Chains A and B, each alone.
Chain A
Amino acid sequence: MKQIITYFDDEENRRDALTELFSSGIVAEEICPFGSTRSSIKIEGKRTVSYIALVGAILGLFLATLLIWWTSSVDYPVDAGGKPDFSIAASLPVLFEISVLFAALGIFTYFIIKIITKKRGRNIIKGLNEMMLISPYLLHITRLDDEKVEKAAEILEKTKACGYEVYVE
């Protein structure tokens, strides 16, 4: 299988190329090294990361409650002037902090895993890094056989791609 990295002069040409490539059944992904305008990348789709934050917060709350309750009521209860061994009110600051910490750790871990696990060939990263210096409007076209490479090249020429390189996966 082959891959193509290509770059454009502006966002519009890239969008045209992307539309044509998709309609021809070719898989391509936009590369936006400097981010993109807010309108083009909306917060949409499955909010997995939100659920992970929620699960992290609930897990943190549960573990912190368990720890405080077990240490102060079961393992070593201390009678301090008749005060209760375990009190939710006195534990609230710790419960809150641990819940927030676990939620944040969940988000961060999920993000790192998602970024690291999607491996790309070293030559692809090198090629992308070089093209980024020329233009911020890049396209990464993947899963191409010889026939699709020709078709993609044709589309790229038609949509005014400034240049492209073909890599073997």
Chain B
Amino acid sequence: MIFITALLAAFTGVLMIILTIDTGLGLWGLNSSVSWGFAITNFVYWIGIGHAGTLISAILFLMRQDWRSAFHRSAEAMTVFAIICAAVYPVIHTGRPWFAIYWMFPFPTRNAVWPNFSSPLMWDFFAIITYLLVSIMFWYLGMIPDLAILRGRIFGRVKKKFYRILSLGWLGTKGQWKIYRHSYLLLAGLATPLVVSVHSIVSFDFAVSVVPGWHSTLFPPYFVAGAIFSGCAMVVILAIVSRNYLGLEELITTDHFEKLNKIILAGSLMIAYSYVIELFDAFVYAGGETKLQLMDRMTTAWPLFTLMLVGNILLPQLFWSGKMRRSIPAMLFISIGVNIGMWLERYLIVISSQNRAFMAASWNSYMPTLVEWLILIGSFGIFLSLYIIFLKWIPIVSVYEGLMNK
């Protein structure tokens, strides 16, 4: 039932994307002031979701945190699927995606002009491509021993062939394990700085501009903290769903959730600190347009601003209580709240800064259209469909690591 709903949502989203490409960006609520709109909000949100995967997998692996084995496989899958969802937005946002290859790839246009490598949009392109490829490699490498275990235990010709091809003839000899451990450790080491770099680079799209509310050195750490925070909350949601759906209560325990919830709590505090610094910057240091812009965010858009504070700051404080950290319904509720809060944060950053820029004459309002909403719902559909397919074919908890830790 969930899968069919997800597929339907994905299908609707794809249909709306085709309609947008065919008709043009006039179908969206964009105007001369708010040119980034919903698409870039969703792009930043999905990239953020994709961050927790590598954090949980690579950083916790380097820190020898064995409890990561309960989450890392699903978190890595989440990363890959979230980046796929994110990558759709900048491409369709160009309005003419068939030209995007000229604008993005290092490929000269018909006037022999190359892409501008000093542009943050180009930095973004390279950051996302690198993060996607390294995440896929890291994810796949971690799965090989499990795919080999499945190869010997699964029945059915198609499935057997699938696992045989993907396991690459892995047997688990001492030599193979040695290369595996070296490679996995090094990939984890390489993926770790990417966690910081990718969202920092995404934040440069905003920070290196002169738009009030964006032009701040706070943005890179603010974005990275937010990404890890929302990503961990999404891991909790997915882990709860998979745990109940597959009956993995013994493998994904409340102890595991408790540790992840502590990271969410830390993330919430970092976000709270960023909000305070943002206010301090606007009211004490920057003043002028930045102050007006922030005032507008807190007054005109106060319902969204309040909801954002509730989701990002207030709700996670419940995790100070050990009982809340171990209660499945509570953590599900809080994690959904965090995700709504973090999406609203991106919405407010992108929209409110653009519709109240320097010149009052260019002030404009923005309202997303139905097509934009359906594309957002579609991206959730694509994400969920891919995740459910992954649940069906790949063990979401690392089998060999579980046995090894025992």
Contact = CB atoms under 8 A, between A and B. Distances in A.
The 4 closest A-B pairs by CB, nearest first: A129-B152, A71-B114, A90-B118, A93-B123
Contacts of A49: 179, 182-183, 186
A30 B180 contact: no
B152 A133 contact: yes
A25 interface: no
A11 interface: no
Contacts of A104: 133-134, 137-138, 187, 190-191
Chain A at the B interface: mostly helix, strand, loop or mixed? helix
B185 A34 contact: no
Interface of A: 29-37, 41, 43-45, 47, 49-50, 53, 67-68, 71-72, 75-76, 78, 83, 87, 90-91, 93-94, 96-98, 100-101, 103-105, 107-108, 110-112, 114-116, 118-120, 125, 128-130, 132-133, 136, 140
Interface string B324-360: 0000000000000000000000000000000000000
B179 A111 contact: yes
Interface of B: 106, 108, 112-118, 122-123, 126-127, 129-130, 133-134, 137-138, 141, 144-145, 148-149, 151-153, 168-183, 185-187, 190-191, 193-194, 197, 201, 204, 399-401, 403-404
Contacts of B122: 94
A120 B169 contact: yes
Contact of B112 (A76, A93, A120, A133): A76
B185 to A, nearest CB: 7
B106 A53 contact: no
A47 B186 CA distance: 11
B171 A33 contact: yes
A125 B175 CA distance: 16
B186 A107 contact: yes
A19 to B, nearest CB: 14
A14 to B, nearest CB: 11
Contacts of A103: 186, 190
Nearest to B64: A38
A13 B61 CA distance: 31
Contacts of A43: 178, 181-182, 185
Contacts of B175: 29, 118
